[in-house]
């Protein structure tokens, strides 16, 4: 048999590379179209996604009430009213304190500005009053010249607030119907999709629902612990708006890494303006201690491997979500990334079954690689015989 020439080998590789390149371009174009469609339908998609996240929190009490014999609509209505009452009660309890302490905080801020002016007058800067006046005049002229843009931004803000109210109303209504009729969705999906897709779709959606529920409940518990501990520290130190800052800390906990940083920075800033440098440093120390408790004990213990997302993936997802969709994108980034990870893991399981590989043995091998140093030789792991038993709840048998 004549050996192949170098030219024929190069041509074969070129054809393979060309095929992969065309496939990559086709996939990239499809993803771009999907992204464009999401952008066009964001007004509808956003309330649906937020409703699903809210449903993961409210579904356990709704399910408990339904098991007690209450009709689905009545059970959902009771839980929704309680949830709305809790949120309204928290706002009503905190709002008077914010109004009362805002005047004091403004006075302290004015004193801080005077201290900054005194510092600028003294060495080493020695800035004169004329220089400060000219700087203030320049800023005033800039604001006056940008009055049209500011007015446009004000109208944009009013429009955004109106859109937020519409979105909130849509979320409440959609949450009611999702909680009421949600258990019918998977059976309807099985009937509509049919085999072989129906079992896979049902299994993936079930895993995504479980992952979302675990993530939201875990983040809520971790955020509550952070808010309580930091809030107690702020109250003891006499920092203004302590309760409001505790609520901001709780809300910021649902945006991993970035939310805690922003909420902590705001607390330190208010402590600096109102109580001075020493109190601000103490607040910073409290926040760092609480964050260490959260990162090293609470989250690893509560989340375990339910999310199975590396911290770098979380940070990149939050950054991308905040860049593309703003604050709401930062909030939804981690749940979306976790859902995509669930889909990819399920796909990997199906590929392993098709190739005759044992997923459990591979996972044990990976854990052994993590536990043993590279210099220590490891005994080979004996592969288990692959079977097509579906008693463990797999959506479809291996083929």
Tell me the DSSP string of 76-139. HHHHHHHHHHHHHHHHHHHHHHHHHHHHHHHHHHHHHHHHHHHHHHSTTT---HHHHHHHHHHH
pLDDT above 50 for 395: no
Residue with more model confidence, 330 or 301: 330
Report how far residue 293's alpha carbon sits from residue 290's, in angstroms, rounded to the nearest whole number.
5
Buried b / exposed e along 359-387 (16+ C-beta atoms within 10 A): eeeeeeeeeeeeeeeeeeeeeeeeeeeee
Whether 178 and 323 map to the same domain: the answer is no
Residue 157 lies in a domain: no
Would you state the pLDDT for residue 376?
43
| Lowest-pLDDT choice from 7-11, 114-118, 169-173 | 114-118
Residue 57 in domain: yes
Q: Are residues 222 and 275 in the same domain?
A: yes
Report d(CA 58, CA 69) in Å as an integer. Answer: 17
**Least reliable range by pLDDT among 46-50, 147-151, 336-340, 357-361:** 147-151
Confidence of residue 221 (pLDDT cuts 50, 70, 90): confident
Among 393, 299, 301, residue whose Cα is nearest residue 346: 393
- Asked if residue 347 and residue 229 are part of one domain, the reply reads yes
End residue of a domain, out of 323, 341, 357 = 357
Span 15-30, average pLDDT: 94
Q: Is 318 within the bounds of a domain?
A: yes
Comparing 71-75, 245-249, 272-276, the range with the smallest average pLDDT is 272-276
pLDDT (average), residues 327-335: 78
Q: Using the 8-state DSSP alphabet, how is residue 296 labeled?
A: I
Q: What is the pLDDT of residue 200?
A: 85
pLDDT tens figures, 84-142:
888 888 778 777 766 766 666 666 666 666 666 666 666 666 666 676 667 766 766 66
Select from 328, 117, 297, 299 the least CA-distant residue to 215: 299
- Assess whether pLDDT exceeds 90 at residue 356: no
Q: Does 83 share its domain with 201? A: no
Q: Which pLDDT band, with edges at 50, 70 and 90, does 224 fall under?
A: confident
Tokens of 170: 């849509």
Q: Is the pLDDT confidence value at 306 over 70?
A: no
Strands annotated E in the chain? none
**pLDDT in the model for residue 22:** 94
Q: Print the domain residue range for 256.
A: 194-357
Query: 70 and 180: one domain?
Result: yes
Average pLDDT over residues 316-344: 81
Is residue 143 in a domain? no
Tokens of 33: 């179209």
- Collapsing DSSP to helix, strand or coil, 370 comes out as helix
Dump pLDDT digits (tens) for 186-208. 788 778 877 888 888 888 888 88
256-302: pLDDT as tens digits: 666 777 788 888 888 887 777 788 889 889 888 887 777 666 666 66
The answer, yes or no, to whether residue 210 has pLDDT greater than 80, is yes
Q: What is residue 109's predicted lDDT score, i.e. its pLDDT?
A: 60
pLDDT value of residue 28? 94
Q: Examine the domain organization and report whether 50 and 74 are in the same domain.
A: yes
Q: pLDDT averaged over the chain?
A: 75
Which of the pair, 90 or 304, is modelled with greater confidence? 90
Give the chain's domain count.
2
Give the single-character DSSP code of 214: H
Q: Is the pLDDT of residue 169 over 70?
A: yes
Last residue in a domain, options 192, 227, 249: 192
**In this structure, are 202 and 185 located in the same domain?**
no
Do 82 and 209 belong to one domain? no
pLDDT at residue 381 tops 50: no
Within a domain: 261: yes
Most confident of the following: 160-164, 205-209, 243-247, 382-386? 205-209
Integer Cα distance of 360 and 370 in angstroms: 16
Using DSSP, state whether 397 is helix, strand or coil: coil
Average pLDDT of the residues in 6-23: 89
Are the C-beta atoms of residues 341 and 317 closer than 8 Å to each other?
Answer: no
Average pLDDT over residues 58-65: 89
Residue 179 placed within a domain: yes
Indicate if 275 and 183 belong to the same structural domain: no
Which is more confident, 185 or 123?
A: 185
C-alpha–C-alpha distance, residues 39 and 340, integer Å: 18
Q: Which of 45-54, 172-181, 187-196 has the lowest mean pLDDT?
A: 187-196
Tokens 């800039």 belong to residue: 142
Q: How confident is the model at residue 150 (pLDDT cuts 50, 70, 90)?
A: very low
The more confident residue out of 160 and 218 is 218
d(CA 167, CA 173): 10
Distance CA 70, CA 75 (A): 6
CA 38 to chain centroid: 18
The Cα 104–Cα 274 span in angstroms is 8
List the Cα angle 291/292/294 in 5-degree steps.
65
State the Cα–Cα distance between residues 237 and 395, nearest whole angstrom.
56
Q: Are residues 183 and 329 in the same domain?
A: no
pTM over 0.85: no
Residue 297 DSSP label:
I
Q: Is the pLDDT of residue 388 over 90?
A: no
Residues 262 and 185 in one domain: no
Judgement on whether residues 207 and 60 belong to the same structural domain of the protein: no
Q: Please identify, among 357, 373, 390, the residue that sits at the C-terminal boundary of a domain.
A: 357
In this prediction, residue 25 carries a pLDDT of 95
């Amino acid at each position: 048999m004549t050996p192949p020439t170098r030219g024929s080998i190069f041509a074969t590789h070129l054809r393979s590379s060309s095929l992969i390149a065309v496939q990559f371009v086709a996939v990239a174009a499809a993803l771009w179209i999907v992204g464009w469609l999401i952008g066009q339908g964001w007004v509808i998609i956003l309330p649906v996604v937020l409703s699903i996240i809210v449903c993961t929190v409210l579904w356990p009490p709704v399910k408990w009430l339904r098991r007690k014999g209450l009709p689905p609509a009545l059970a959902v209505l009771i839980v929704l009213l309680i949830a709305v009452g809790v949120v309204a009660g928290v706002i009503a309890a905190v709002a008077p304190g914010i109004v009362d302490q805002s005047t004091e905080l403004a006075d302290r801020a004015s004193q801080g500005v005077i201290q900054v002016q005194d510092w600028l007058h003294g060495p080493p800067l020695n800035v004169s009053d004329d220089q400060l006046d000219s700087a203030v005049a320049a800023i005033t002229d800039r604001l006056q010249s940008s009055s049209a843009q500011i007015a446009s931004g004000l109208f944009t803000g009013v429009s955004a607030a109106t859109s937020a109210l519409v979105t909130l109303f849509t979320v409440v209504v959609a949450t009611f119907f999702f909680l009421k009729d949600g258990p019918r969705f998977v059976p309807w999906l099985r009937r509509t999709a049919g085999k072989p897709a129906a079992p896979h779709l049902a299994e993936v959606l079930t895993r995504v629902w479980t992952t979302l529920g675990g993530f939201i409940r875990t983040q809520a518990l971790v955020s509550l612990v952070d808010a309580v501990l930091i809030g107690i520290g702020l109250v003891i130190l006499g920092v203004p708006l302590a309760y409001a800052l505790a609520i901001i800390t709780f809300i910021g906990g649902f945006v991993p890494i970035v939310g805690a940083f922003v909420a902590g920075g705001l607390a330190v800033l208010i402590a600096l303006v109102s109580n001075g440098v020493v109190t601000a440093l103490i607040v910073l120390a409290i926040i760092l201690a609480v964050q260490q408790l959260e990162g090293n004990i609470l989250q690893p213990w509560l989340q375990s491997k339910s999310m199975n997302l590396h911290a770098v993936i979380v940070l990149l997802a939050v950054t991308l979500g905040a860049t593309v969709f703003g604050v709401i994108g930062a909030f939804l980034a981690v749940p979306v990334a976790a859902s995509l990870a669930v889909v990819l893991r399920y796909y990997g399981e199906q590929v392993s079954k098709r190739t005759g590989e044992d997923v459990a043995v591979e996972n044990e091998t990976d854990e052994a690689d993590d536990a043993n140093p590279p210099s220590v030789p490891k005994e080979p792991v004996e592969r288990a015989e692959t079977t097509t038993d579906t008693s463990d709840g797999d959506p479809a048998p291996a083929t």
